[in-house]
Amino acid sequence: MAKHSKLPLVLGLPIAAAAGSFALSEYFFKIGMARRTKKPRPSKTLLPYAKEYYHGLKWYKHIHKETWHNFEPATGETMVATYIPNENKTKKTVVIAHGYNGTRETMSGYAKMFYEMGFNILMPDDRGHGESAGKYVSFGWLDQKDYQSWFNKLVDRLGSDCRILLFGVSMGAGIVSMLSGTKLPVQVEAIIADCGYSSVREELGYLLKFRYNLPKYPFEAMVSSINKRRLGYYLNDASTTKQLKKNHLPILIIHGSEDTYVPTYMAYENYRASDSPKQLWIVKGAKHAESFWFKPKEYRQRVSNFLKTYFN
């Protein structure tokens, strides 16, 4: 009789464990994919560069610019971007993709650099961020359709002979790298990706271990299943390396050697994946999304040299 009385308890242990794992996976999904509502500020890594950051933001606030909207009739969603026409009329435009938890404003320093290089600037708020629609963050996978619409608007504005450069940092690097594997307009000529991940699935698995000391299984699979139900795709679908294998555009990959948020080995994976003309710059001593601030003169020079070779 005693043995039988323990049976429900024994059977209940796996059920409780499964329920706990699912609850934790739902928590990870929400903190990772839920819409970002906080007003962005420089990350702790960038606090030493606050003066430079706010100098770029001041430039953005005062420069002549336009607000563009992209309405999707099928979903009723509207995406928002800032367009900054260069004072020196030009056909070349850089499309700048911001990082996770950021907005187009947080890319002001980069925008200023490219403006001074003679580019028009298009800076979208990505899905689930800033003024753009989206209940969830898609880490680049669903953003691809939005960016294709932005490209069409640029061609309509500047003409079929315009030239487009893609640039992104962190999640933004994931966006522009994933776009490389799609059918892009002929006007898109080159890509610069700074500290991007190799796939959303691999990044989640890394953060589970690095931040929470948890194994990939079963949480990675559960979060992926939740993501499939809510957003329509599995995390492994959002693979930068898979997309880069189809890339034919010149690409410059930048990554900090001390990046512990998106580990540096992912830069090597992305670099190896692409068979196009490519360059890799590992910035010694730089943490996540710090390269631009850590080595500002060399960063500008590396970008300039890449553009002289593959864009200008």
In this predicted structure, what is the pLDDT of residue 10? Answer: 47
Domain that holds residue 175: 44-200+235-310
Residue 37 falls inside a structural domain = no
Which CATH number belongs to the domain containing residue 291 in this structure? 3.40.50.1820
Q: Is there a contact between 132 and 140 (Cβ–Cβ < 8 Å)? A: no
**How far is residue 147 from each of residues 27, 141, 199, measured CA to CA in Å?**
29, 11, 19
3-state secondary structure of 44: helix
3-state secondary structure of 66: strand
In this predicted structure, what is the pLDDT of residue 11? Answer: 43
Place of tokens 């910035």: 283
> How far apart are alpha carbons 3 and 173 in whole angstroms?
58
Residue 205 falls inside a structural domain = no
Residue 91 falls inside a structural domain = yes
CA 228 to chain CA centroid, nearest Å: 19
Residue 192 falls inside a structural domain = yes
- Within a 13 Å sphere around the CA of 82, how many CA atoms are in the beta-carbon half? 23
Nearest of 216, 215, 176, 194 to residue 261 by alpha carbon: 194
In this predicted structure, what is the pLDDT of residue 259? Answer: 97
In this predicted structure, what is the pLDDT of residue 41? Answer: 65
Residue 277 falls inside a structural domain = yes
> How far apart are alpha carbons 253 and 191 in whole angstroms?
9
Q: Is there a contact between 52 and 109 (Cβ–Cβ < 8 Å)? A: yes
Beta strand pairing status for 120-124 and 163-169? unpaired
φ, ψ at 168 (rounded to 5°): -155, 155
In this predicted structure, what is the pLDDT of residue 13? Answer: 43
Mean pLDDT by runs of 10 across the 312 residues of the chain is 51 52 86 80 80 95 97 90 98 97 95 98 96 93 95 98 98 97 97 97 92 87 94 94 98 97 97 98 97 98 98 86
In this predicted structure, what is the pLDDT of residue 14? Answer: 53
Nearest of 248, 303, 244 to residue 279 by alpha carbon: 303
Residue 265 falls inside a structural domain = yes
In this predicted structure, what is the pLDDT of residue 46? Answer: 82
Domain tally, the chain: 1
Q: What is the H or E stretch that residue 266 is in?
A: helix 265-273
Enter the tokens of residue 10. 């024994």
> How far apart are alpha carbons 295 and 287 in whole angstroms?
11
Residue 255 falls inside a structural domain = yes
Residue 174 falls inside a structural domain = yes
- Within a 13 Å sphere around the CA of 288, how many CA atoms are in the beta-carbon half? 19
φ, ψ at 280 (rounded to 5°): -130, 130
